[in-house]
Structure 1
Amino acid sequence: MKTIEEIPKTMDVLNLYGIGDLRFEKKETYKLEKDNVLVKIKYCGICSSDIERVFVNGTYHFPTIPGHEMSGQIVAVNDEDEDLLGKKTAIFPLMPCFECDACKEGQYAQCSDYNYFGSRCDGGYSEYLLVPKWNLVLFDDSLDYKIAALCEPGAVAIHSVNIGNIKKGEKIAISGTGTIGMMIALVAQGKGATVTVIGRSSKSLEFSKELGLNTLLTNELEDKNFDKVFEVVGNNESINQSIGLTGNFGTVILVGNPKDDVYLDKQIYWKILRKQIILKGIWNSSYNTSVNDWKEILDLMVRGNISFESLISKEFSMNEYAEAFDYLRDANEKKLKVMFKNE
């Protein structure tokens, strides 16, 4: 084994023992295994799905260390992997089976028997993480760790825009004002589309305006028609609204993950038929040798044409987890991405 620092016997983690029972504690540091490296986590984003896991639904088993939006440095490797030592890396959080039909086609997001950091196994709310080499997404030394920690939502945004097949000059609407919605808007705008972000209140649209995006309130949507609409909320109101805003032969790209059952109004369903609207679903991101959304978003980050740092609202140390989640759940706080930092 080769290392660039002394690896402690124990590490700091945030461990979820049950719904609402998140604890800052010490845990034995991972032992290096074959075909794996030890990554020192520098930043880990708090996803909206993490809030659901911690306070509503739980993870697949307890205890579990949440967190899947990670960046860090490779600090320990096996002798044969010395060239990886010290490298900066993001981490693709899905660990596929490599045996099902989807995996054999390289469509790992559709794997039927996958593991996943932060929900099915321990993730990035941790000082260190044992990571298979296959899941490493190395990035340029010039890129800041906290920007690279946006890779996971950024890859979903890239995947959504690519599936939407955005063309220069198209009129695009984004229903949803969270981090992924903002990233979709910025990437689509970079491809030459005219982008409008839709929100329920002026407050929800403040970040969109600061990023230089066109905005519309939901009560200003009469007679609006868009070539393509990205639905990034996942509730009945937003889904019905997105379909209703789509013009003839347009496309709705469904990105939001619903918490409850979804129903379509009859008038909205008729619009799908009469306008011959195409509905496209999005799940996760592409990560293979022919299509790699992670590499694409990293290239954008390194180029610096988009101000990704403006999407990061606040950083907390892991021992400040209670304050972090209080801040995230406070409807009066103006925020986008919140991160834990170990630097």
Structure 2
Amino acid sequence: MPEPVGDRPVLVRIGAVGVCGSDVLRFGVGKGYGFPLVLGHEMSGTVVEDSPSGAFTSGDRVAIFPCLPDAADPMTEIGEFTLGTHYDYFGSRRDGGLEEYLSVPERNLVRLPEGVSLVEGALVEPAGVALHAVRKATVPANATALVIGAGPIGLLAAQWLRVLGVVRVLVSDIDERKRRVAEHLGFDTIDPTGSTSDARVMEATGGRGVDIAVEASGLGITFLQAVHAAAHRGQVVLLGDLSTDVDLPKETVSRILRRELTLLGTWNARITPRGQSEWDMVVASIGRTVNVADLVSHVFELEQAQSVFEDLADRSVWANKTVFAVSDEAKAEADAALAASFSAKQVP
């Protein structure tokens, strides 16, 4: 059983854990702060005991915010937990959710609404990351947007853009199956094969470009394409953590200057202020205005983790969102989750 963690710790039985691309890098490349390490920062669970304040009672289903802020950090004082210098983090800097139980500070728990499964609850964290990113941009009237990358984060960003008032969202990806998922969710899609995302966008917008371009692939080349897809006074949101270096050609810098573009960096999400945070918005929107269920392509059990991570690291299987069902409750929901998911129907 885990040792108590943080202020007013609560024992949580882990329900489901989503696999992030950063988890695959930690497993396959060794990109981590230290080993051995239990992976998993996209987590849902069930409260085992009443919380110290009584805000949570045994049996409550919760999503778990993975960042453990440093109380002495100035960023913590203003609620920007993940912008601190010395924060801790489940599944990254300390053991995470791919185990049966976790001790979690009460402040890091957000109750899941009635009817939201534990499998869906594991997607609260990436949904929060995507929401935090697109909220950086100002949405003008009759706005258009581009999202490069139709993975889970990209498709969540596209949905949040629509929720926040963007009239037309274009989604670009070289993966035909991921484009199908995007189309199923109601988005116009772009196939950049044989061309580039920015060139396709210019065709689709009559040469104007888009008001908001979101880079969600994490590649240097797609970062440049996002810049070149932006209209005058457009905004470029850098959501993907680049896996390659990028050089800024003179032409690209000139475009940023002459079009007066705004480049927006984003990192993680906010759980403050209580009741009106981005995470509160996520749990209130799941199953209503935001669809996470159709993103889940696979649900596995904890005992399969080794082979699953090997396949993901080797890219030997197609996957959209992979989730581990850890608790018996989550395992009982797995079949229904896959039966209801459009992504699961794309698995060969």
- Normalised to the residue count of structure 1, the TM-score between the two structures is 0.85
Shift of 1:79: 6.6
Q: Which moved more, 1:286-295 or 1:270-279?
A: 286-295
Give the direction of change, closer, same or farther, for the CA distance of 1:78–1:240 in structure 2 (3 Å limit): closer
Q: Tell me the equivalent position of 1:75.
A: 48
Q: Tell me the equivalent position of 2:104.
A: 131
Q: Tell me the equivalent position of 2:345.
A: none
SS of residue matched to 1:71: strand
Q: Tell me the equivalent position of 1:30.
A: 2
Q: Tell me the equivalent position of 1:146.
A: 119
Give the direction of change, closer, same or farther, for the CA distance of 1:335–1:99 in structure 2 (3 Å limit): same
Among 47, 60, 69, the alignment partner of 2:33 is 60
Q: Tell me the equivalent position of 2:62.
A: 89
Distance of 2:147 and 2:112 partners within structure 1: 29
SS of residue matched to 2:94: coil
Give the direction of change, closer, same or farther, for the CA distance of 1:310–1:201 in structure 2 (3 Å limit): closer
SS of residue matched to 2:286: helix
Contact 1:96 1:103 survives alignment (8 Å): yes
User: What amino acid is the match of 2:2?
Assistant: Y
Q: Tell me the equivalent position of 1:122.
A: 95
SS of residue matched to 1:248: strand
Distance of 1:204 and 1:299 partners within structure 2: 26
SS of residue matched to 1:263: coil
Aligned: 1:335 with 2:335: no
Task: Tell me the matched-pair count.
Answer: 314
What do residues 147-170 of structure 1 show as CA deviations (whole Å, max 9, x unaligned)?
Answer: 111010000111112111334521
Q: Tell me the equivalent position of 1:8.
A: none
Q: Tell me the equivalent position of 1:211.
A: 185
Give the direction of change, closer, same or farther, for the CA distance of 1:83–1:341 in structure 2 (3 Å limit): closer
Q: Tell me the equivalent position of 1:39.
A: 12
Among 258, 261, 264, the alignment partner of 1:277 is 261
Q: Percent of pairs identical after alignment? A: 29
Q: Tell me the equivalent position of 1:14.
A: none
Give the direction of change, closer, same or farther, for the CA distance of 1:214–1:61 in structure 2 (3 Å limit): same
SS of residue matched to 1:163: coil
Aligned: 1:190 with 2:174: no
Contact 1:44 1:125 survives alignment (8 Å): yes
Aligned: 1:199 with 2:173: yes
Give the direction of change, closer, same or farther, for the CA distance of 1:143–1:203 in structure 2 (3 Å limit): closer
Q: Tell me the equivalent position of 2:346.
A: none
Q: Tell me the equivalent position of 2:332.
A: none
* CA RMSD, Structure 1 to Structure 2 (Å): 2.1
Distance of 1:53 and 1:201 partners within structure 2: 24
Distance of 1:327 and 1:57 partners within structure 2: 16
Give the direction of change, closer, same or farther, for the CA distance of 1:83–1:177 in structure 2 (3 Å limit): closer
Shift of 1:206: 2.7
Shift of 1:182: 0.4
Contact 2:148 2:172 survives alignment (8 Å): yes
Distance of 2:189 and 2:277 partners within structure 1: 31
Shift of 1:92: 0.6
Distance of 1:154 and 1:271 partners within structure 2: 31
* Unpaired stretches in structure 1, ≥5 consecutive residues: 1-28
Q: Tell me the equivalent position of 2:340.
A: none
Q: Which moved more, 1:323-332 or 1:311-320?
A: 323-332
Distance of 2:14 and 2:42 partners within structure 1: 10
Give the direction of change, closer, same or farther, for the CA distance of 1:78–1:277 in structure 2 (3 Å limit): closer
Distance of 2:312 and 2:298 partners within structure 1: 10
Highest relative contact order (Cα 8 Å, sep 6+), 1 or 2?
A: 2
Distance of 2:242 and 2:134 partners within structure 1: 20
- Normalised to the residue count of structure 2, the TM-score between the two structures is 0.84
Q: Tell me the equivalent position of 2:235.
A: 251
What do residues 51-89 of structure 1 show as CA deviations (whole Å, max 9, x unaligned)?
Answer: 001111343222111100000001134676485222111
Q: Which moved more, 1:203-212 or 1:237-246?
A: 203-212
Distance of 1:206 and 1:133 partners within structure 2: 40
SS of residue matched to 2:29: helix
Aligned: 1:299 with 2:271: no
Aligned: 1:100 with 2:80: no
User: What amino acid is the match of 2:278?
Assistant: D
What do residues 11-31 of structure 1 show as CA deviations (whole Å, max 9, x unaligned)?
Answer: xxxxxxxxxxxxxxxxxx124
Distance of 2:71 and 2:153 partners within structure 1: 28
User: What amino acid is the match of 1:44?
Assistant: V
What do residues 274-293 of structure 1 show as CA deviations (whole Å, max 9, x unaligned)?
Answer: 10100010100112117511
SS of residue matched to 2:2: coil
* Unpaired stretches in structure 2, ≥5 consecutive residues: 204-208, 329-348
SS of residue matched to 1:57: coil
Q: Tell me the equivalent position of 1:324.
A: 308
SS of residue matched to 1:125: coil
